[in-house]
Amino acid sequence: MKGTKMKTTTTHLAPWAAYGVVFVGALVMLAPFYFMFVFASHSRSEIFNLPPPIWFGDDLLVNLSILTQKIPFWRNLGLSLYVAVISTILTLLFCSMGGYAFALFEFRFKNALFGLVMATMLLPSFMNMIPTFMIMNLLGWIDEPRALYIPGAASAFGIFLMRQFVASSIPKDLVEAARMDGCSEIGIYWRIVLPLLKPALGTLGIITFIASWNNFIGPLIVMRSPEMYTLPLALRGLQNPVNTEWGALMTGSAIATLPLIVLFILSSRQLIAGLTAGAVK
C-alpha cells in the first residue's frame, strides 16, 4: 500500500520511543476521566486519603443521595436534557432551511447576509454576555428554558455547515426537476433536501447537543434560581470554599460527563470531521 518506502526509514529505535510518548500522552489525556469515575465512588475523606484511591470504591449510592439532598439534581439533569433536545431540533430545522436557501437560491443581499453571518462566527462570546442578559430581562425570560434554546437556534456554524453540505452534495438539477414536476417549494425542502441532508444533520445534531449540554455561560447569565439551573450550573453551585462534598460533586460530574463519552465513542469520526469542517475547507 501507500508509504512502503517510509516504512523502511521507521525501523530504528527512535520511533519506539515516540510510540511510547504518544501512548503515555494518550493516557495522560484519559487519566482525569478515569479519576473522575473512581472518585465518584468514594466518600470525601477517602478521596483525600494518602495515597488517593486508584480503584473504584462502594460509596456511589451514598454520594448520589448526598447529591440529591443538596441540589434538585434530577430536575437539573432533566432541564439540561430538555434544553439540549429542543435546541438541537430547532437548530437542525432552522439551519437546514437557511443553509439550503444560501446554497441553491439566488436572492437580494445573499452575499452580504452570508458574510454577516460568517463574521459573527468568530465573535468572542463575552461580547453578547451583558446585552443578552438585558434583552432576556426585558422579555421576561430570566429563569425560562427558552432563553437558552431560542437564541441557540441561530447558529452561524450550523448555517455554514449546512450550506457547505448542500452545495457539495445536492445537485441544483435535482431541485429543478422536482419543481418542473410540480412539487411545491415546501415539498422540495421536506421530501428531497432534508432526506439527502441526513449525514450533515447527524453531525450538526451531535455538535449542537453537546454544546448545549456543556453550555455554562448561557445559563450562568439567564438562570437565576437553583431549581432552574442546568447541570453545569448546579454542579458549580455545590462548590463551596468551606465544605465541599467532593464525593457527591464527583458523582454529579461523572453523570454529566458519561453521556458525552458514550456519544463520543459512538460518533467520534463524524464529530471530529464536523468540528473541524471550517478548518479543512
Partner 1 sequence: MKLPALLRLSPRFAPYALLSPFVALFLLFGVFPLGFSLYLAFQTWEPTGGLRAMEFVGFDNYAFILSDEWFWKSLQNTLWLALVSGVPQHLIAIPLAYFIHSSFKRMRNAVVGAYFMPYITSTVAIAILFSSLFSTDYGLINAGLRTLSQLPIVGGLFSGNSVDWLNDPARIKPAISMLVFWRYVGFNVVLYLAALQTIPKDIYEAATMDGAGRLQQFWFITLPSLRPMIFFGVTLSVIGGLQLFEEPFILTDGRGGTDQAGMTTAIYLYRMAFDFNDFGAASAMSWLLFILVALMTWLTNRAFRSPEARSR
Near partner 1 in 82-101, by CB under 8 A: 93-95, 97-98, 100-101
Q: Is 265 in the site for partner 1 (CB under 8 A)?
A: yes
CB 107 within 8 A of CB 236: no
Least spacing, CB of residue 165 vs partner 1, in Å: 15
Assigned C-alpha cell, 14: 527512535
How does 158-195 read in b/e, with b if 16+ C-beta sit within 10 Å? bbbbbbbbbeeebeeeebeebeeeebeeeebbeebbbe
177 binds partner 1 (CB under 8 A): no
Residue 186 in contact with partner 1, rule: CB under 8 A: yes
User: What residues from 38 to 67 belong to the interface with partner 1 (CB under 8 A)?
Assistant: 39, 47-52
User: Under the criterion CB under 8 A, does residue 266 sit at the interface with partner 1?
Assistant: no
CB of 227 to partner 1, least distance (A): 18
Could you tell me the smallest distance in angstroms from the CB atom of residue 90 to partner 1? 8
The three-class DSSP label of residue 49 is coil
Contacts of 116 (CB under 8 A, 6+ apart): none
CB of 154 to partner 1, least distance (A): 4
Please pick, from the candidates 189, 194, 226, 270, the single residue that binds partner 1 as defined by CB under 8 A.
Answer: 189
The reply on whether position 261 binds partner 1 by CB under 8 A is yes
C-alpha cell at 7: 516504512
Binding partner 1 by CB under 8 A: which of 24, 172, 185, 199? 185
| Residue selected from 126, 173, 181, 198 as contacting partner 1 according to rule CB under 8 A | 126
- Where does the chain have alpha helices with state H? 4-9, 14-40, 44-47, 60-70, 73-104, 110-121, 129-139, 146-152, 156-169, 172-180, 185-187, 194-196, 198-214, 217-222, 231-238, 246-275, 277-280
Tell me if 30 contacts partner 1 by CB under 8 A.
yes
Q: Does 129 bind partner 1 (CB under 8 A)?
A: yes
Cβ at position 74, least distance to partner 1 in Å = 17
Taking phi over 0 as left and psi of -120 to 50 as alpha, with beta for the rest, 151 belongs to alpha
